[in-house]
Structure 1
Amino acid sequence: MEHTRELTSVSWAAARQATLHCLTGCAIGEVLGMVIGTALGLPDAGTVALAVALAFVFGYALTMRAVLRAGLPFRQALGVALAADTVSITVMEVIDNAVMLSVPGAMEAGLSSALFWLSLAGSLAVAFVLTVPVNRWLMSRGRGHAVVHAHHH
């Protein structure tokens, strides 16, 4: 017997807000990872791996901060963060790193280059736009950021 979740109507505004929340954590980690990796002269793969890892750390941390404030114990807050953000962060990271790697010279441009910063900003903007429908779809099925909203007072 197949278990189906009840679909709920989710506004585009709510999906944008959830994606903006996700983007905040992702962007902090992504920018920090790109800056550290570039400054250390890491190869592209090392820089991307560092950026992705930090994007997940900061993305989960921002969600956990909110649900911990709502009174959940740490272990349960971690579970909520994993359920709420894993798909969204994954989609966002795949997109923004693919864009960053596809811009010729962006990864090698260096921290003082407009090409580096414009490519990074552009990659995050593209990731935001393409992740909004993913988050709307997840939320309409009671997943993603809908899990977090269940714990807000």
Structure 2
Amino acid sequence: MRHEADRHQHAHPHDTAPAHPAGGWPVAVRATLHCLTGCAIGEVLGMVVGTALGWGDLPTLALAITLAFFFGYAFTLRGVLKAGVGLRAAVRVALAADTLSIAVMELIDNGVIMLWPGAMDAGLADARFWWILAIALAAAFVVTAPVNKWMIGRGKGHAVVHRYHH
């Protein structure tokens, strides 16, 4: 008969064994959609606030990126805290799980926006702004999903978070 502790193992943020040895695409897609949600909320909120305050492109972009990281981390933090992990450990898990994913996503989506002719001049009331943002976020998803798959396959990124899901 197995001991109760053997059946109910708890993961630690420093574990390195892959939670999903195959690092499958379904897990990577879910992780990337999770990241995309936080990034999109932060991006849009940052652009709305920056525009409403009459800020220029650079401060608005900085706010949007900052909020994208904030919301991305907050979503992960919420789930890990809900699993009963203490705040300090949960913050470490969120940082480990999301930093590379959010950074890649932000680099791609903001790169597309900055390089798209006229995108930085399109206002929030302009349909062109929303189409370009949607294309930029889709491009960021396509580039970030393989990054997440690679990390998960090595027990990093969202594989760390999934250890806390029961």
SS at 1:107 equivalent: helix
In 2, the alpha carbon distance for the partners of 1:37 and 1:118 equals 19
Q: By how many angstroms is 1:36 displaced?
A: 1.6
Does the CA contact (< 8 Å) of 2:81 and 2:90 recur in 1? yes
Does the CA contact (< 8 Å) of 1:99 and 1:123 recur in 2? yes
SS at 2:120 equivalent: coil
Q: By how many angstroms is 1:65 displaced?
A: 0.4
| Identity in percent | 62
Q: By how many angstroms is 1:14 displaced?
A: 1.1
Letter in 1 for 2:46: G
Number of aligned residue pairs = 149
TM-score when normalising by structure 1: 0.93
Letter in 2 for 1:144: G
Asked whether 1:73 is paired with 2:86, we answer yes
Letter in 2 for 1:143: K
State the partner residue of 2:42: 29
Asked whether 1:63 is paired with 2:76, we answer yes
Q: By how many angstroms is 1:38 displaced?
A: 2.5
Q: 1:9 aligns with which of 22, 30, 36?
A: 22
Does the CA contact (< 8 Å) of 2:39 and 2:72 recur in 1? yes
State the partner residue of 1:112: 125
SS at 1:151 equivalent: coil
RMSD (Å) for aligned C-alpha atoms: 1.3
In 2, the alpha carbon distance for the partners of 1:67 and 1:6 equals 18
Q: By how many angstroms is 1:89 displaced?
A: 0.2
- Stretches of structure 2 that go unaligned for 5 or more consecutive residues are 1-15
Q: 1:103 aligns with which of 109, 112, 116?
A: 116
In 1, the alpha carbon distance for the partners of 2:139 and 2:48 equals 20
Does the CA contact (< 8 Å) of 1:25 and 1:55 recur in 2? yes
State the partner residue of 2:145: 132
Q: By how many angstroms is 1:6 displaced?
A: 6.0
Runs of 4+ in 1 over 6 A off after TM superposition: none
The higher relative CO (CA closer than 8 Å, separation ≥ 6) is in 2
Cα displacement string for residues 108-139 of structure 1 (whole angstroms, at most 9, x for unaligned residues): 21111011111111111110111000000000
In 2, the alpha carbon distance for the partners of 1:122 and 1:26 equals 14
Cα displacement string for residues 10-69 of structure 1 (whole angstroms, at most 9, x for unaligned residues): 111111011001111111101111222223232221111111000000000000000110
SS at 2:121 equivalent: coil
**Higher Rg of the two aligned structures:** 2
